[in-house]
A and B are shown apart, each in its own frame.
Chain A
């Protein structure tokens, strides 16, 4: 199977950089799997599981909102504000974030606050769901 260069970048660090056989992400229009030789492509990623296949098999990570870009040279870049390997997720913390977001949703808040809480809830639920997955 052909491989391509994948880079997962956050503002804090370069989370992952290396030769990859496949990357699976969930975009606004659904799941997408990218293999080597994909056409230039850009899409937004929603909070979901990001799966990266290297020679050693799949590795799973929880990703929040971001973007995936296939360049003309075939390299793939994922830009996101937050991403964590599934075995490094602090579940207790995600649980707390989830409870806070749920409380905020119940409170009679403005539309903007409601939207924010909803997004936070989605991210927290995603992190809890992905935690421990291989």
Chain B
């Protein structure tokens, strides 16, 4: 192998090395962000359980009607889709967007009217390009999300649901199962389900002013908690997916560097052998 070839190999090793530095750095950043996001996702549980408990208590003890529990004929459905703001996270964005698209198509096929609310830049871009009714988009809010942000979204959704803009609200996001697995999820949030009237009265509890009023005022909290937890959960999943993707990218880069180094060393040895042969044959000739 000629010297110029060796130079090429050396240059390639250098470039793969610098790529590996980037993927390594991204992996580290993602894993620290993942840890923080996971803690935030877990911190939501006490709130959410509390809210759901009160809602379940009310519906268990009282027969009541609320716009938020009435099952209507599902004609128009709002799908809230949560994806990431950035790529390079393996199949994270495409998996959740595929599920959202499938759900929207299902509604279309059944003669309904799907509307999309997209959270995350990738989700906004995905549905802007396609023929769906994108009613609102919230790019770049997941990282460092604050409750006030989610409250605004939740209030908007509740208000429009109450006005009858849509008959049901569904949520598509990615849930964090473990650092290795993240699963796209589909949930119905409005009308509120899983509530049952069992007729077992707890007359001791006073609802002020009435069970219905308390229930209706709880729904925005429920919605806000649900959205917040989904966004944080999705963010943790995104970081986990990116960490895994970057880990395997770094591994691949390492493998490539190893193969290229072998190639380089072989070429170097061949060159040395050739030089020795040349020198020794030259000295033999001069004797």
Contacts and interface: CB of A to CB of B under 8 A. Distances in A.
Contact of A81 (B40, B57, B206, B221): B221
Nearest to B163: A112
B50 A112 contact: no
Contact of B206 (A41, A111, A116, A119): A41
B208 interface: yes
A67 B46 CA distance: 14
B51 A119 contact: no
A116 B159 contact: yes
A67 B228 contact: no
Interface string B204-216: 1111110001100
A106 interface: no
A81 B221 CA distance: 6
**Majority-rule SS of A interface residues:** mixed
Interface string A21-51: 0000001110010000001111110000000
A67 B221 contact: yes
B148 interface: yes
A39 B156 CA distance: 35
B179 to A, nearest CB: 23
Contacts of A12: 40, 43-44, 147, 228
Contacts of B82: none
A9 B47 contact: yes
B208 A65 contact: no
A126 interface: no
Given A40-B205, A42-B54, A115-B159, 13 more contacts: A9-B47, A12-B43, A27-B208, A39-B206, A43-B209, A64-B151, A66-B221, A72-B204, A77-B50, A80-B221, A81-B224, A111-B163, A116-B155
Interface of B: 40, 43-44, 46-48, 50-51, 54, 57-58, 147-148, 150-152, 155-156, 159-160, 163, 202, 204-209, 213-214, 217-218, 220-221, 224-225, 228-229
